[in-house]
Amino acid sequence: MSLIKRTTNPFRDAGLPEPELLAVKQEAIEFLRAKLHETGMSQAELARKADLEPPHVSEMMAGRLNRFGVERINRALAVFGAEIKTEYRLSSAA
C-alpha cells in the first residue's frame, strides 16, 4: 500500500537507474519526516531508537536516497511500526 499517490515518477522522468526503488525510498523519508513532526521526536531520538548514527538520520532526512539501502531505512521506519516490503514474482512468457 502506497502512502503517497503519485501520477508520475520523477526519478523515471530523470532517467535515473532503479526509479521505482528511489520513489519508494523517497516516500519512506516523507513518511518519517511526517512522523517526526507529528510526534515531536527529534532526529537524535529516532537514531537512538533505530540504532542508527545521528548523522545518518540527518542525511536520510535530507533526502540522500542513494546513501541508504532499504534495510537501514526500515530500521528507522520500524520505530513507527512501518516498513518497506519487496515482493518478487516469477513470470513466465511460456
Tell me whether residue 45 is in a domain. yes
Tell me whether residue 28 is in a domain. yes
Q: What is the model's pLDDT at position 93?
A: 73
CATH of the domain at 72: 1.10.260.40
pLDDT of residue 48 exceeding 80, the answer is yes
Between CA 28 and CA 10 the distance in angstroms is 15
Tell me whether residue 93 is in a domain. no
Tell me whether residue 90 is in a domain. no
Burial code (b: 16+ CB inside 10 Å, e: under 16) for 58-73 equals: eebeeeebeebebebb
Q: If pLDDT is split at 50, 70 and 90, which confidence band does 34 have?
A: very high
- State how many domains the chain has: 1
Q: What is the model's pLDDT at position 75?
A: 97
Q: Which domain holds residue 29?
A: 10-78
Tell me whether residue 2 is in a domain. no
pLDDT of residue 16 exceeding 60, the answer is yes
Tell me whether residue 66 is in a domain. yes
Q: What is the model's pLDDT at position 72?
A: 94
pLDDT of residue 6 exceeding 70, the answer is no
Q: What is the model's pLDDT at position 1?
A: 45
Global confidence as pTM: 0.78
